[in-house]
Amino acid sequence: MPPSFTSVNKQIRKVAVLGAGTMGSRIAAHIANAGLPVILLDIVPPGTDTGAEKAAKNKFVLAAMDGLKKSKPAAFYTQESARLITIGNFEDDLGMIADCDWVIEVVAENLEIKHALLGKVAQHRRADSILTTNTSGLPIAKIAEGLPAEVKPYFFGTHFFNPPRYMRLLEIIPTRESDTGAVATIAHFCDQRLGKTIVRSHDTPNFIANRIGTFSLGNAIRLMQEQGLTIEEVDTLTGAALGWPKTGTFRLGDMVGIDVLAHVAKNFSAQAAAIGDERAEVALAPFIGRMIEQKWLGDKVGQGFYKKMGKDAEGRDLRHVLDWQTLDYNPS
């Protein structure tokens, strides 16, 4: 069993983030905002020669860092915070996690991919370091299955929301084997240093927020189709007018990522019979499946429910909006 953790005898001084996609890179940026050194690693691009230069192997993580510096809303408090992030790749640099107090896995929502990476992490992590996953809804116990027994007490879920600098909620999802002190250490750190509001969740499909949010999205789409509304009209009705974020339903979906939304919805569908309390609205509409086939995944690729069209004369973002019936984009 691990030692008894407390916020006093276990300090988080250095963090590793494994996965430099939209979510992972922004988590790394926000931890750097708190003044901590961060290791940010990602895969080597497929097809890269083993003897390639470091820049080629680090192509994805370098692109992520460039994106962080340009992101809107800003990921960093100040651009100087970027100096606290050290980059690398999974093939050459996993040894860099050895002196990290907290290691956060933020790779693709695929159990096989997560198991493969976490197996390597177990070989390099320090014996008392805390290891968490940022999955949007995969069962934490399933992710933990491949971990060595001595690692499991240090492992649990930490589900950040995008963009993590601005979204205060953090869901913490322990397994039955998670050490309560290790969980308390991360909860204390995220509360005091990252400004998070902590919610403890059971290891149920999609946890709390995504379970509610995905149902809300599915229901909004159903009503939109039944009543012949447009995407813009739904965003107007479900934004500031309700006291919700001004992004509304679909603009928020673009920020989160339409592929992520679809993954969470599939989690619902797969678990519906076992849960026994879900409704038909959790299934996303067919037009979203066609968007995913076209790789219209939201902000990360420049188009989703809305399409970026540059800036106007005053420097404001211009967007066209999707007609969900024809899949054409029209001026908003």
For residue 1, the SS3 value is coil
Helices (H) and strands (E) in the chain — how many of each? 12, 11
CA dist 77 and 97 (Å) reads 25
For the four alpha carbons of 183, 185, 186 and 187, in that order, the dihedral sign comes to: positive
- Closest C-alpha to 132, from 212, 15, 20, 210: 15
Q: Which stretches within 158-257 are classed as H helix?
A: 180-192, 209-227, 231-237, 248-256
| CA distance readout (Å), 285 to 213, 223, 288, 324 | 15, 11, 6, 10
In DSSP notation, 21-54 reads: SHHHHHHHHHHHHTT--EEEEEPPPTT--TT--H
Q: How far apart are CA 220 and CA 222, in angstroms?
A: 5
For 325, residues 6+ apart whose C-beta sits below 8 A from its C-beta are: 287
Contact 36, 15 (CB under 8 A): yes
- Give the residue numbers annotated as catalytic, written as ranges: 159
Q: Residues 6 or more apart from 69 whose CB is under 8 A from it?
A: 76, 79, 82
Give the Å distances, CA to CA, from 264 to 98, 134, 167, 233, 258: 32, 13, 19, 24, 10
Length of the chain: 332
Integer Cα distance of 260 and 136 in angstroms:
8
